[in-house]
Amino acid sequence: MRKTGTHFLVLGLTLYFSFASFASDKSPECIIKGKPAGIDNHQVLVWKRTTKNQFQARAYIRGIVTRAFGKKGDHDHFEIQLDQHKDDTIEVIYNNHFGALPKLKTGQNVEACGDYITSYAKAGGYPASPSKAIIHWVHKNTRGGTHENGFVMIEGSLYGFPNHD
């Protein structure tokens, strides 16, 4: 049997998810409902498959970059693979006001903590996500109030959380 890029991607994802079960030591805590949360790709994929358009929740995910959608205004949009099936993806939307991201490349490791939204249809002036789900607010809360901070880690480097110790 001939090995293809897809075979290597599945093998890489399997190994990645097998050995990368804990968050990076450099990442801040992802707080959900006032408590530190662990990575839960499975729950996010359940929401993606079972909730109505515009369902919202907090999420902490880990995956690998599969494609970059580019900049839209002052936000970077890119997709990460959360599990081994083709549609196990989510679009990450990052606000560049919290610093520029590096040039994204397929296969880069990503952790993201932020607000999950099911997005398979246009709503409120926003187009549907090509991934049918997004995670955004992956940055520090500079507005005050009770909204929890978010962040994104790419290849172990923290973004969206300036002045992190």
Q: Please report, for the domain that includes residue 89, its CATH number.
A: 2.40.50.140
CA-to-CA dists, residue 136 to 21, 76, 126, 150, 152, angstroms: 22, 10, 13, 8, 10
Question: How far is Cα 93 from Cα 133, in angstroms, rounded to an integer?
Answer: 11
Confidence of residue 39 (pLDDT cuts 50, 70, 90): very high
- Within a domain: 117: yes
For residues 47, 147, 22, 132, the Cα torsion angle rounded to the nearest 10 degrees is 30
Question: How far is Cα 68 from Cα 104, in angstroms, rounded to an integer?
Answer: 7
Average pLDDT over residues 110-128: 94
- Within a domain: 164: no
pLDDT of residue 141: 82
Average pLDDT over residues 65-88: 95
Host domain of residue 13: 5-159
Average pLDDT over residues 102-111: 96
Q: Is the pTM of this model over 0.85?
A: no
